[in-house]
Amino acid sequence: MNLATLIACATCGYALTEEHDGDDVIYRHPVSEDGRHQPAPIAASLLGDVYDRCHICSAGQPVWCYRTAELEAQGIGGSREIIQTYNTRWHVCLRCAQLIEADDPDGLTATSAAYMRWRPADPRYAILSMVHRAIVLTRESRRLLTTTDWPPAKLTPDMLPKIRDRLTGLLRGPADLAAPLHAPHTRRTLADELDRAPLYWVNQEFTDLTNEVTQDQPPAPVNDRIAPSPSGLLVWPQPVGANALATAISWTPQAHGWHMICYRSIGGGLADDLMPTLRHDIGWLVPIHSEHVARDATVDGNHPLGPLITCWLLMNQQMAETASATLPKAVTKAYQRRHGRAPDVRLVQIKPPCTTSTASPQGGGERTRATSAYRYWVSGHERNQAYGPGRRLRKRVTIEPFLKGPDDKPIKLSTTVRMLGRRQPSDGNDPG
């Protein structure tokens, strides 16, 4: 399930708030619907200009959605009485959230009046102040927003233990999460699994390779043969994939498959004084896609999980080597104090070219054509492999998709060689 799609009103371009009523989602305009048109929900990416700002100060990027009681403001004076009904969902930036959490409604009013340039004598200031007081007093819960378009954060491998700890802290913490991650059992299981999971850092060279070949990766069955470990959190130095959103993907075992989650990194471009709160309350990663992947379900390179599966395939065919990372002593020691063991961080990097062996990556004895000008994907297939005395016996072996051709050659895109069971390896796999 995609969690990153911002929904906005096609008529006015305002980002809409979401309420879940069973399976139904109710979209509302921010702040109040009074006197407005009906919301016309549409993916914000289809609109040119979308207004997606903090509902309180109108300035910051929204981070939290606060739920409050229904607020009504009654305007007295003038020729007629005005009653305004407000939304029960408020998208709030980090700075305003800090003031709400500190029970400081006056701070909220001062911040937003300053942005509007309203003086305390302005009658509108009194209404603002009343609304802010009501938000602070009647707030029920807050949910982490997953639709805000953040500039990515700068990540390095020695940050991984902390990044994981903040993620498990978020899962175990009081904040509401998007529906597929919200159930207490789901959150607890995920956090427990992530605590044990190895952390993979993909180096720049291997990230570039992954980015280059992911799009063309043929459908690959997701199974234990290609998974480098039962669970894991894999992190790239910058966003990858077709829409360049995901910076990390986790997988944890679930009945008949895995729970896989894509995350974007957050905090790029945020004011320094807000960083400690962001890192403490949320951390570095915000989930943007959550999916149960059944064992042997196929995933191709255009799928949101494509970059992960491409990495797995390349690791499986031993194009990558995985080495334990040497972390700064302070990081290891702090981790040992808290968890009683050193963090398991593994570096995924391109394996130096092997000059002595020409065996195929699957070890199946299939010979590479003498010279190829390109590297290209070969689809997964099954074939009979000779074995035993005199190689007279045959057994069925499954070959996962793999990238073929010399390491120093460019990648031929849009060329997937499909090998069918009846074909001989030598008669149908010319990349052209």
Least CB distance from residue 98 to Zn ion, whole Å?
9
* Cα atoms in the Cβ-side hemisphere of radius 13 Å centred on 74: 2
Looking at 17-159, list the stretches that DSSP marks H as alpha helix, in order from N- to C-terminal side. 94-101, 105-116, 123-138
End-to-end CA distance of the chain: 38
Least CB distance from residue 55 to Zn ion, whole Å?
8
Closest CA to 148 of 282, 242, 288: 288
Neighbours of 90 (CB within 10 A): 26
Q: Which is nearer to Zn ion, 93 or 190 (CB)?
A: 93
Structure-block tokens of residue 138? 């009647």
Q: Which is nearer to Zn ion, 58 or 229 (CB)?
A: 58
Least CB distance from residue 75 to Zn ion, whole Å?
23
Least CB distance from residue 131 to Zn ion, whole Å?
13
Least CB distance from residue 364 to Zn ion, whole Å?
59
Least CB distance from residue 11 to Zn ion, whole Å?
4
Q: Which is nearer to Zn ion, 54 or 262 (CB)?
A: 54
Least CB distance from residue 121 to Zn ion, whole Å?
23
Locate tokens 């092997």: which residue? 354
Looking at 156-264, list the stretches that DSSP marks H as alpha helix, in order from N- to C-terminal side. 160-172, 179-182, 184-196, 204-214
Inter-residue contact 361 to 373 (CB < 8 Å) = no
Closest CA to 158 of 345, 407, 309: 345
Q: Which is nearer to Zn ion, 7 or 197 (CB)?
A: 7
Least CB distance from residue 10 to Zn ion, whole Å?
8
Residue 334 parent element (H or E): helix 329-339
Q: Which is nearer to Zn ion, 103 or 430 (CB)?
A: 103
Structure-block tokens of residue 72? 């009504």
Q: Which is nearer to Zn ion, 98 or 217 (CB)?
A: 98
Least CB distance from residue 245 to Zn ion, whole Å?
24
User: What contacts 81, CB < 8 A, 6 or more positions away?
Assistant: 74, 75
Instruction: 164-167: list long-range contacts, CB under 8 Å, 24+ apart.
Output: 164/194, 164/195, 164/197, 164/199, 164/233, 164/343, 165/283, 165/338, 166/279, 166/280, 166/282, 166/283, 166/284, 166/285, 167/194, 167/233, 167/250, 167/263, 167/283, 167/284, 167/285
Q: Which is nearer to Zn ion, 15 or 209 (CB)?
A: 15
Q: Which is nearer to Zn ion, 36 or 295 (CB)?
A: 36
User: What contacts 383, CB < 8 A, 6 or more positions away?
Assistant: 364, 396, 397, 399, 419, 421, 425
Q: Which is nearer to Zn ion, 9 or 71 (CB)?
A: 9
DSSP class of residue 247 equals E
**Which positions touch Zn ion (CB under 5 A)?**
9, 11-12, 54, 56-57, 60, 93, 96
Distance CA 116, CA 2 (A): 35
Q: How many residues does the chain have?
A: 432
Least CB distance from residue 67 to Zn ion, whole Å?
17
Q: Which is nearer to Zn ion, 60 or 157 (CB)?
A: 60
